[in-house]
Structure 1
Amino acid sequence: MNVFSALKLYITKMTEESGPGMKVLLMDKQTTSIVSNVYSKSEILQKEVYLFERIDSGAQPEGLRHLKCIVFLRPTAENISLLCRELRCPKYGVYYIYFSNIIAKADIKTLAESDEQEVVREVHEFYADYLALNPHLFSLGINVCVQDLRWIPTHLQRTAQGIISVLLSLRKCPFIRYQGGSDMSKILAEKIRETFSKESNLFDFRQELNPLLLIVDRRDDPVTPLLNQWTYQAMVHELLTINNNRVDLSHVNGISKELAEVVLSAEHDEFYAQNLYLNFGEIGQMIKTLMDDFQKKSKKNQKLESIADIKNFVEMYPQFKKISGTVSKHVTVVGELSSLVGKHNLLEVSELEQELSCQSEHSTQLQKIKKLINDSRVRDVDATRLVMLYALHYEKHSNNDITGLLDMLKKKGVPATYTKLVYSILEYSGVHARQSNLFNHEGVSKITKKLFMGLSGVDNIYTQHKPLLVETLDDLLKGRLSTQTFPYLGNMVMSKRPQEIIVFIVGGATYEESLAVNNWNKQNPGTKIILGGTTIHNFQTFTEEIQSATNSITRRYRSRNN
């Protein structure tokens, strides 16, 4: 199971089935992101695709009838309407149409009626309706899927379609288990089963590895997306934000135009692929090694003393230029991360975050939070997340001082949009909302410090926290996952333990959970797990989800606890 390979295979087939000749790729906003995540522009140019157009752009290019048009769209009502308009007045010679998901027969008929000039050669369903971020990780790009603790109907539909697409692209018809205490998980599971029944011919696969779809709810583990991260990919997303493999660095002082936006793709960047799961200190060592290697090659290429030297340099120049770009990109990214860590005292903040998530020492932790709130270096966002973690952990503690900490945040000048999050997180994911006891760590040994080497300014950082997903997967694969906590949908119960598991997190996954799944796959070669979510959260996007989920009902929590 590899979602990256599945999507790349579809897009390769699209570009090749139309045969040789110059082509244009006509897409919508979502399919543009889907393609750009798995194919670089230079790669797709090699497939004779020389023009990229958006169906909703309104542009009217002329004189392009010599081009073949590959259409790749989501089968939405809007896209069907736009495509019908395109076919009535075709700008290109012939059209090969591919939909990213199941399309209704009525829509096919509508398109056929619009094809008055008979320019359409083929119409296919290619199930590429999701964003592949890593081989084991996918997202649907829905930052906010819930309002007032209920599905936003359009996002429920989009989520079900996305998961169906993943299953069809991987050729899986799995058993379904869902989080029993989560209405949203159950509703999504039932929506998926409806499609199984309606489109049963599409799911008639020969299967030998007992696939399972496990649907869990973000509300059961609010701690993971609240924490600062210390592995490369997760840290970049937390501090700089990764959006469709792109990182905006335009805010960095003195940044060059070429580095204002950088692409971090494991498929197209060997250094990133090899190091995205390393911790911050290890990345420092790898950056130093990368720079040393580049400097050696650079000095070697300065000695152009013969025609043979010049010839060799010209032959090596594209690779040399690529290495130069890789060095510049990662030095810039890591330099900015290092600057933010020092400027905002993130080491001390993160250490306390880990203690709040893994230990119960109320009075000591309360004093440390107060100290950091009063530290001028600590950002409003970090002071807020510390109080949110404290509130989650000590919500029912007889001496909790949530109100006092909120007063300190207000005195610090923290905006109301942040201070309101403390009550919102308790409404969203307090004790009343969770199935699991996140803070029962009696059997966990004391936090141990891991020394991060190789990067100036990095001393000791705690990395004790493990997402709840790790425990859930462990119980599942050892046959201990309760069918009351995670019931099967319908009367179908697996007789054997699953060997292929698709985990989907309603309300968004995180890169920390992606790291856990990657490690699990490495350590358990007999089992394959992929992870998906409505989005991939950092703290900022998670707070947007919480605000939407609780915006009109947070007062209920206050009245219940006053």
Structure 2
Amino acid sequence: MDIVKILQTYVQKMINNTPGMKILLLDDNTTQYISLIATQSTLLSKEVFLIDKIENTSREKMKHLKCICFLRPSSKSVQLMIDELRNPCYGSYYLYFSNILTKSQIERMAEADQQETVRELQEFYGDFCAINSNFYSLNLQNYQIFGDSLSTWNNETFKRTVEGLRAVLLALKKRPMIRYEKNSALGKRLASEINYQIQQESQLFDFRRYDTPPILLILDRKNDPVSPLLNQWTYQAMVHELIGINNGRVDLSKISDIKPDLKEIVLSADQDVFFKNNMYLNFGDLGVNIKNYVNEFQNRHHNSDNIESISDMKKFVEEYPEFKRLSGNVSKHVTLVSELSRLVSQNSLLEVSELEQNLACVNNNNDLKEVQNLIKRSNITNESKIKLVLLYTIRYGRQNINEVKELVQLLLQNGISEEQTRTIEQLIKYAELNERQNEETTTSTIFDKGKNVFKGLKGVENVYTQYTSKVADIIQSLLKGKLKDQFYPYIEGSIRDRPQDIVVFIIGGATYGEARDIAKLNEEIPNVRIIIGGTSIHNTKSFISFVKNATSVL
């Protein structure tokens, strides 16, 4: 169940099915999908001499070229394809769509192909972003998920989510049993619709049956608002939290004196061995690995400069052009880790994170005082102060509403705007913190379900990584046969045997930290394959924006 390799196989089939010189024509969506799993040099080596977008209507006519089209079967892309076929720029067309086409879409394209330039038409189910081998996203961060309330879907987003999740299952060749969180109206509707789609497209879903069927587990972000709010200390998750990863790219242009070739860098486990080996390591181990790599090069070139710190490494890399030429990839990582280190120090994130972890993992009589102290400090960012109050509210808000009000006042007294403090009330509404009674996910279990899942396996790594996401604990319970049907019902039937394949989907977005926890479970537990994804990928900034957007429907 390697989601990256599956999409790469689709791309290889498209290209290998079309010998000779060719152009690759994409749309806005498939451009994002392809950019994550294939490099331009790889495509060029397969005689793809030009990549363009179907939205570009001023393309030059080149009848000597074959054209591979990989498009989403959206009404916009299909119409653009129809226009293209009526007035073709290229000699022949090989059409591949990332999801299921309707009969009328096929008929309209056939009718437009008066010059009979179409040589092939296929569906390749790659209608999602493959982030890591076990992590996917539908990339719907700019979509409003909710309809006229927090328990109803926006119709357009619902349709897009169903299509994307259906494509994931078709790509994986899985016909799963479906479970969802009982307290999520959105989850129940999505589970029902996916089940209906599987039955409607029974021929497409006619895969080999296993003794123990795979599980599709649909979760709702509202039941774990904690994971997106915590500082991260493993490499990939940390980069997204502090800088941001957008379709596999990291923008470093704001760093002073940044070299031109490092203003935008690519982070890809598939294309970058160092990143693959270090993406789930904590920040301390990562620093040691980079230092060892630099020292290894130094020894090879008999250089005696003493490298003790990250800034020494950065200086060494900048002063040795040969090192940059031979190991531009390590130069990239030294620069990135150097920037992460600067941000951690500048924003006192070690101190902030320790309190976040305490709030997430244990009840502590000193929590209120600790939060108050950090709010008063000028070297703590406004974002960190709000995060701490949000975490305090989730843990203690129901019992101590007056203390939450006091913290909001303290935020206002320390330069936080009234608009920013509204986030606290917005989160209470989004996560339904005041309504949770007699259900599996109460305000306390939002935390308790997600703490120290791996402690019995290897011990907690350090004080900054005590917390483990709730989804990892749910998966553990599922694999032990302890996930209660009462709280996680099946849409149809039920099984008691331990599943081997589990596909997790989080309505409202997943996180890199959760993907790391799932990767760790895959590594620790034999004969189990788990992949995780969601409507989007969150860091704190995007999650707070999502909550604000969600409650705007009320």
What is the TM-score when the length of structure 1 is the normalising length?
0.89
The alpha-carbon distance between structure 1 residues 383 and 469, as it changes in their structure 2 partners (threshold 3 A), is: same
CA distance in 2, matches of 1:164, 1:139: 13
CA distance in 2, matches of 1:542, 1:512: 14
Letter in 2 for 1:436: T
Match for residue 192 of structure 2? 190
Match for residue 442 of structure 2? 437
Contact 1:265 1:273 in 2 (8 A): yes
Match of 1:117 among 110, 115, 118: 115
Contact 1:177 1:213 in 2 (8 A): yes
What is the TM-score when the length of structure 2 is the normalising length?
0.90
CA distance in 2, matches of 1:399, 1:12: 57
The alpha-carbon distance between structure 1 residues 8 and 322, as it changes in their structure 2 partners (threshold 3 A), is: farther
Aligned-residue Cα RMSD (Å) equals 2.2
Whose RCO is larger (CA < 8 A, sep 6+)? 1
The alpha-carbon distance between structure 1 residues 111 and 373, as it changes in their structure 2 partners (threshold 3 A), is: same
The alpha-carbon distance between structure 1 residues 129 and 298, as it changes in their structure 2 partners (threshold 3 A), is: farther
CA distance in 2, matches of 1:472, 1:203: 27
Deviation (angstroms), 1:255: 0.9
Match for residue 22 of structure 1? 21
Deviation (angstroms), 1:321: 6.3
Contact 2:24 2:52 in 1 (8 A): yes
Match for residue 296 of structure 2? 293
Match for residue 283 of structure 1? 286
Structure 1 gaps, min length 5: 301-318, 453-459, 554-562
Contact 2:324 2:331 in 1 (8 A): no
Give the secondary structure class of the aligned counterpart of 1:496: coil
Match for residue 203 of structure 2? 201
Pairs within 5 Å for 1:219-368: 219-297=222-300, 323-362=326-365, 364-368=366-370
Contact 1:23 1:70 in 2 (8 A): yes
Give the secondary structure class of the aligned counterpart of 1:258: helix
The alpha-carbon distance between structure 1 residues 367 and 323, as it changes in their structure 2 partners (threshold 3 A), is: farther
CA distance in 2, matches of 1:56, 1:242: 25
Deviation (angstroms), 1:374: 1.2
Deviation (angstroms), 1:320: 7.5
Letter in 2 for 1:380: N
Which deviations, in whole Å up to 9, do the C-alpha atoms of 1:385-442 show, x marking residues without a partner? 0000111111122474111111121222223342111011111111525741353578
Deviation (angstroms), 1:229: 0.4
Deviation (angstroms), 1:545: 1.3
Pairs within 5 Å for 1:368-383: 368-383=370-385
Contact 1:210 1:497 in 2 (8 A): no
Pairs within 5 Å for 1:399-414: 400-414=402-416
CA distance in 2, matches of 1:343, 1:120: 58
Match for residue 551 of structure 1? 552
Deviation (angstroms), 1:224: 0.6
Which deviations, in whole Å up to 9, do the C-alpha atoms of 1:495-542 show, x marking residues without a partner? 522111001111111111111111111111211111011111101111
Match for residue 86 of structure 1? 84
Give the secondary structure class of the aligned counterpart of 1:52: strand
Contact 2:233 2:464 in 1 (8 A): no
CA distance in 2, matches of 1:75, 1:322: 43
Give the secondary structure class of the aligned counterpart of 2:24: strand
Match of 1:425 among 424, 427, 452: 427
Match for residue 318 of structure 2? none
Match of 1:76 among 74, 77, 87: 74
Identity of aligned residues (%): 42
CA distance in 2, matches of 1:451, 1:151: 39
Match for residue 312 of structure 2? none
Match for residue 315 of structure 2? none
Identify the range of structure 1 (496-505 vs 272-281) with the bigger mean alpha-carbon deviation: 496-505
Match of 1:464 among 452, 463, 466: 466
Match for residue 457 of structure 1? none
CA distance in 1, matches of 2:390, 2:217: 28
CA distance in 2, matches of 1:285, 1:228: 21
Number of residue pairs aligned between Structure 1 and Structure 2: 522
The alpha-carbon distance between structure 1 residues 283 and 358, as it changes in their structure 2 partners (threshold 3 A), is: same
